[in-house]
Amino acid sequence: MGKIYLIRHGQASFGTDDYDVLSPIGIRQAEIVGAHLAAQGVSLDRCISGNLRRQQHTANSAMAELSKAGDAAPHLQIDPAFNEFDADAVIRALLPDILPEEPQALEVLRNAKQQRSEFQRLFAKLIGRWISGEYDKPELQSWTGFVAQVEQGLNRLLDSAHDKESIAVFTSGGTITALLHLITGIRPDKAFELNWQIVNSSLSCLRFRGKQVSLASFNSNVHLMLERTPELITYR
């Protein structure tokens, strides 16, 4: 059977003007996951990412570590189907409807870095509305539309893959969540409960034969734990 390694990007720049940039911790996480793959003797046939900078930077940093170890590092291919959903667009579209019951929401969002737990509570509430399909907006990509986008990317990958290939896909937490939903049939709300636990640079593994795909492992972050540096375990 073939393997698809789903690798979440390293820590991005939460609470800054440009989230789509790896933090110094995020760069280190990317290097560690690449060194871990090399140490485990993982030989990759292909490497793919979405077109977001944090995804590509993670992929390139990890592949550089493979090269340092003397392993072949495949050229990075880009498929926007593996992009993250637009969280900012979800917030902009759905926030006005909850302001009457959450009057402090704007203040929390303006100071998200200082109010992480309250931001997470509000964000989870908005995501719950988004995935329900009851609050769809014409200007906002729906949850079902996002899942369809990810499914198209997975199908393109499987159509071009050989059954014994090992493929790395550098992507994001929401994309991994959509894949969990597609592959296991888990409900979207339960899938997002798992989403909040996905560690930056964690490894999940899919096994495939033809179009048959199964989940082999989820959210492994032993490569970070072995560093014995707690600040390397991040979720956003």
Whole-angstrom distance, CA of residue 140 vs CA of residue 163 = 37
**String of DSSP letters for 1-49:** -EEEEEEEPPPB-TTSS--SSB-HHHHHHHHHHHHHHHHTT---SEEEE
Superfamily of domain 2-85+144-232: Phosphoglycerate mutase-like (3.40.50.1240)
Domain residue limits, the chain: 2-85+144-232, 87-132
Task: State the chain's mean pLDDT as an integer.
Answer: 95
pLDDT per residue as tens digits for the range 80-119: 999 999 999 999 999 999 999 999 999 998 888 889 899 9
**String of DSSP letters for 78-117:** E-GGGSPP-HHHHHHHHHHHHTTT-TTHHHHHHTTTT-HH
Whole-angstrom distance, CA of residue 101 vs CA of residue 1 = 51
Count other C-beta atoms under 10 Å from residue 57's C-beta.
21
Side chain identity, residue 4: I
- Residue 10 contacts residue 30 (beta carbons within 8 Å): yes
Residues facing residue 41 across a β-bridge: none
Question: Is residue 185 predicted with pLDDT exceeding 80?
Answer: yes
pLDDT per residue as tens digits for the range 111-143: 888 898 999 999 999 999 999 999 999 999 999
Q: What is the longest distance spanned by two Cα atoms in the chain?
A: 58
Q: Sheet holding 212-220: strands in order across?
A: 76-78, 46-49, 166-171, 2-8, 203-209, 212-220
Whole-angstrom distance, CA of residue 205 vs CA of residue 32 = 17
Kindly give, in sequence order, each residue whose CB lies less than 8 Å from that of residue 128, ignoring residues fewer than 6 positions away: 189, 192
pTM above 0.85, yes or no: yes
Whole-angstrom distance, CA of residue 79 vs CA of residue 155 = 12
pLDDT per residue as tens digits for the range 59-81: 999 999 999 988 788 999 999 99
